[in-house]
Amino acid sequence: MKLFLDSALIDEVREAAGWGIVDGVTTNPSLIKKSGRDFKEVINEICEVLSNGAISAEVLSEDAEGMLKEAREFASWKPNIVIKIPMTDEGLKAVKVLSEEGIHTNVTLMFSANQALLAAKAGATYVSPFVGRLDDNGQDGMQLISDIVQMYMNYGFDTEIIVASVRHPMHVHESAMLGAHVATVPFGILEKMFGHPLTDSGIEKFMKDAGVR
């Protein structure tokens, strides 16, 4: 299973890259705004820090022609850029063309299994179902992941599922149990995944017994 960092903050990207467990980064317009930095500059810097990682950069156009123009430009910046495209009819038109051009795509703002089916048929490299926003809306986010995993297995689709809008470590655990390919995780939640009180108390006792503390 791959873990992506869901952030556009370069300090978080550097720190998480240093842990050696991050396979990519996802950004969106809200995360770019939070970084307070220029879009192109921050995407390129993230690509340099994680040069073997998949780095998602989102288009802002709403028509296929505009999306394709943006996508081709982003793809020319660095080889590891993945074009993030919203789940619309225009978005899928663009995904189809980009998949034929060998440009990787991540179809985002996905909230139903039928949306995931259409994106896979269009040739998406990744789809991003938003589990936290579904939970917030009174629906079961992880059930959607289970449905998409099953659907893709039934037909042997190559499209990878990125569990997005992750709100807590259990979302990551459940994603792994269901066989999702990727979870994109905010920095604070990745940090929480390291910890367990029994790990801390165990280290404390070993250090005391060894005379180090």
For ligand G3P, the binding residues (CB under 6 A) are 6, 26, 28, 130, 132-133, 164-165, 184
Nearest to 58 by CA among 50, 67, 47, 49: 67
Residue nearest to ligand G3P as judged by C-beta position: 165
CB of 5 to ligand G3P, least distance (A): 10
56 sits in the region (left: phi over 0; alpha: psi -120 to 50; else beta) called beta
Beta carbons of 131 and 104 less than 8 angstroms apart: no
48 CB neighbour count, 10 Å cutoff: 13
- Rounded to a whole number of angstroms, the minimum distance from the CB of residue 4 to ligand G3P is 9
Closer Cβ to ligand G3P, 97 or 129, answer by number: 129
Strands 54-58 and 24-26: parallel
Residue 205 among the catalytic residues: no
Of 97 and 162, which has the nearer Cβ to ligand G3P?
A: 162
- The DSSP string of 15-46 is HHHHHT---EEE--HHHHHHHTS-HHHHHHHH
List residues bridging with 83 in a β-sheet.
57, 105
Q: Which is nearer to ligand G3P, 28 or 80 (CB)?
A: 28
Catalytic residue of the set 33, 40, 69, 84 = 84
Minimal distance in Å, beta carbon 202 to ligand G3P? 33
Smallest gap from residue 91 Cβ to ligand G3P (A): 15
Closer of 31 and 151 to ligand G3P (Cβ) = 31
Just list the catalytic residues.
84
